[in-house]
Structure 1
Amino acid sequence: MYVEIAEEDSHENNLWKLNFDGASNAMGNGIGAVLVSPNGDYYPFTSKLDFDCTNNMAEYEACIMGTRAATERKIKILEVYGDSTLVIYQLRGEWETRDPKLIRYRKLVLELIEEFDSVTFCYLPRDENQMANALATLASMIKVNKSEDMKPIQISIYEASAPCYSIEEEENDDHPWYQDIL
């Protein structure tokens, strides 16, 4: 997992947001999480799960990865958003957790959140959880060599197409192209 070095001012008293998502498909299993700082900076995390799991287990794994990243940053106030109704309502205590595998996951999340002054769990529709979903899907589909170190993904925003950046300033020529014809 890649965690960017914590800033000196970790905004201990400010609200951070965490979006998480898990993906389990024929290609594999992956998780994604995004921490959003009070000033709107995004800190994405993603991991490939190299073990068999259900989609609900992947959702919990993603929540745990993001929660651990938040505790490493010494964040104290956190809003957690996920698009798994089951996981969110189980963590809120509104739905019973019956699956023995999920009971252990829920217990771990509840232990981790003891580090925070305030944590809330909120359901987020899938179409509003796009970045975490994309990270989870990417991790589930990519083949990773365990012996190689994977560098973090850098996401940039280009405001113009590549050809626009390669236009060179025209040289000032005292002789226009048509002068040789005359």
Structure 2
Amino acid sequence: MPPPTVETDEGLLVASFDGSARIKKKGGSFSAVIWKLPEWTIVAAESRYVHDLTVNEAEYNGLLLCFELLADLDRGRVILCGDSSLVIRQMRGEIDCKAPGLQLLRHKALEKLQSWPSHEFLHMKREWNQSADQLASTALQSEKGRTVVAEEDRQDLMTLNRLDELLKPKQDGQLARVTAIARSARRIRHEPEVIQEEIVQRFRIQRIAKLKMKSVGLSISRHI
């Protein structure tokens, strides 16, 4: 299924979520990041850690955390993004949900979804979900969740974001290329149009390498 498209300068919300779990310690973490378009600014970002949580349960809890963070926002269009094929397909009704524990979580998510009549689900590979993945991985490592408030920490998550490469606005009948570096470029007074693609990628790689140093040594069981 092709990713949703957005209109140029369309104001909408994008909610990305992720979940991770350890097999031996039987602990799991999950995260959610709420983005505001067209600026791709972070409205809210949070992670949590829970004992006795499977990977799929962690993914569903990440989705439920999205709805929790969305609760006080305007009920416009929202795109819900995750790298769990199982959760996305079950929420779309494409496959059955047979596990009792997941049935309860899915039911809760469907109830929350009723408050958002204009919604879409997007399944993506893990590499496109790096912002939520970083939050969940850090929570799993530290066995403690957190609410991301500091501007520097939010900028780190914005650097990891690649969703803007999937959700591309229409412009004059063609898809316009949007990159996360444009936001950072505005911050350092550069004009977005003169930034070359190789500079964009170099900047992103440097920031991602720095952030991933915090997660070295993780032993994570994941389900895609």
Instruction: Output the TM-score relative to the length of structure 1.
Output: 0.71
Equivalents in 1 of 2:147, 2:140: separation in Å?
A: 17
Range with greater deviation from structure 2 (60-69 or 36-45)? 36-45
Q: Is the 8 A contact 2:14 2:34 kept in 1?
A: yes
Q: Match for residue 46 of structure 1? A: 47
Q: Within 5 Å, which residues of 2 pair with 1:56-95?
A: 56-95=56-95
The structure carrying a bigger helix percent of its residues is 2
Q: Within 5 Å, which residues of 2 pair with 1:133-172?
A: 133-144=133-144, 152=148, 154=150, 155=153, 156=155
| Unaligned stretches of 5+ residues in structure 2 | 1-9, 157-183, 189-224
Range with greater deviation from structure 2 (31-40 or 83-92)? 31-40
Q: What's the RMSD between the two structures over aligned residues?
A: 2.4
Q: Within 5 Å, which residues of 2 pair with 1:15-34?
A: 15-25=12-22, 26=24, 28-34=27-33
Equivalents in 1 of 2:30, 2:112: separation in Å?
A: 18
Rg larger in 1 or in 2? 1
User: Does residue 131 of structure 1 match 2:128?
Assistant: no
**Structure 2 counterpart of 1:32, which letter?**
S
Q: How many residues align?
A: 143
Deviation at residue 153 of structure 1 after TM alignment: 5.2
Q: Is the 8 A contact 1:45 1:66 kept in 2?
A: no
Range with greater deviation from structure 2 (92-101 or 115-124)? 115-124
Runs of 4+ aligned residues of structure 1 deviating over 4 Å after TM superposition are 156-159
Deviation at residue 143 of structure 1 after TM alignment: 4.0
* CA displacement, residues 73-125 of structure 1 (integer Å, 9 cap, x when unaligned): 23431100100000000000000000011111111000001111311111011
* CA displacement, residues 111-146 of structure 1 (integer Å, 9 cap, x when unaligned): 00111131111101100000101101111111449x
**Structure 1 counterpart of 2:14, which letter?**
K
Equivalents in 2 of 1:151, 1:15: separation in Å?
A: 22
Instruction: Output the TM-score relative to the length of structure 2.
Output: 0.58
Identity %: 26
Equivalents in 1 of 2:123, 2:144: separation in Å?
A: 31
Q: Is the 8 A contact 2:14 2:78 kept in 1?
A: yes
* CA displacement, residues 18-49 of structure 1 (integer Å, 9 cap, x when unaligned): 11000101463111111110121023211112
Equivalents in 2 of 1:21, 1:124: separation in Å?
A: 11
Q: Is the 8 A contact 1:22 1:59 kept in 2?
A: yes
Q: Is the 8 A contact 2:48 2:144 kept in 1?
A: no
Q: Match for residue 162 of structure 2? A: none
**Structure 1 counterpart of 2:46, which letter?**
F
**Structure 2 counterpart of 1:15, which letter?**
L
SS of residue matched to 1:116: coil
The 1:75–1:96 alpha-carbon spacing in structure 2 relative to 1, beyond 3 Å, is same
| Unaligned stretches of 5+ residues in structure 1 | 1-12, 160-182
Range with greater deviation from structure 2 (29-38 or 54-63)? 29-38
